[in-house]
Amino acid sequence: AFFYRLEALHKLDRTNAKHLWLLYRLFLGMINHDCTQFQIQWNAHPISGAGHDRSPNDMFLLGGLENGVYVPTDACAGVNPDVIAELYGTHGNVMQKGDGETGTGQLDDEDVPGVGEDLEVDQEDWEDMIDEVEAANAHHFHHEPVPVPKHQNPFDDEDFATFDAALHEANRVHLIPPGYGLLREEWEGEMYPAFEIIKSGRKGSKELRVALPDSIRRPRAELWGRALAFIDRLTYMDEDSEAESSSESE
């Protein structure tokens, strides 16, 4: 909802690669922080029903105490334990031992087939195994990867340092640039909107009303406006410089 707000009121152009770069630059860290805070709070809240009013943290701890903690090998790091059990588990019939046999006997190495020999894996068997792994994990993936929109850093190293220093100073003095929907006289009804309406459905017939707390969203909108104002100013300066160079060459 916040990015809809930037687009509706604060001149965000989602087709502009420079604007997309600025979104990454300003808000990616904030988004990751917000997601981490949500994760912490979610893992601490009790879950009714199958959760028996225990939090995910409680279930993780109790599960480890009851069943032990699984420590994967490097080859299995990050793989779902169910998949590991399916693909690496033991299969087949249990060997039956005769009377007096303990099952601890071991043949000499020379009597064990394959010991000391270079084992070759048939290419067809290898491809079959890959197909099996892909099929076993297919239900974890529901769609094709989403392409990342093109974003472009509009600065070279020197200009970026200038931009970063200027933005830091503008934040320090709480500069509010005009023309970016941030000043009171630029608001409809002279009040900063507390909600954003997201339309969905066929022809936008459905509306979702999302609250945007002023204490959080407006400072971020002001940060966006300051940074965008600097980018616009530098862009105009570059265009003027190119125009002057072109006229001089003619």
Kind and range of the H or E element at 139? none
Amino acid type, 31: I
- Whole-model pTM? 0.65
Categorize the per-residue pLDDT at 39 as very low, low, confident or very high, splitting at 50, 70 and 90: very high
Question: CA angle at residue 164 from 162 to 168, to 5 degrees?
Answer: 115
Q: Contact, 136 vs 192, CB < 8 A? A: no
- Distance in angstroms (rounded) separating the CA atoms of residues 236 and 5: 25
Name the residue with higher pLDDT: 69 or 195.
Answer: 195
pLDDT of residue 45: 92
Per-residue pLDDT tens digits for 188-229: 877 888 888 888 877 777 888 888 888 888 999 999 999 999
Q: Contact, 224 vs 5, CB < 8 A? A: no
Please report which residue ranges of the chain form alpha helices under DSSP H: 2-9, 17-44, 56-67, 81-88, 123-137, 157-172, 214-249
210: β partners: 196
Name the residue with higher pLDDT: 177 or 102.
Answer: 177
pLDDT at 243 over 70: no
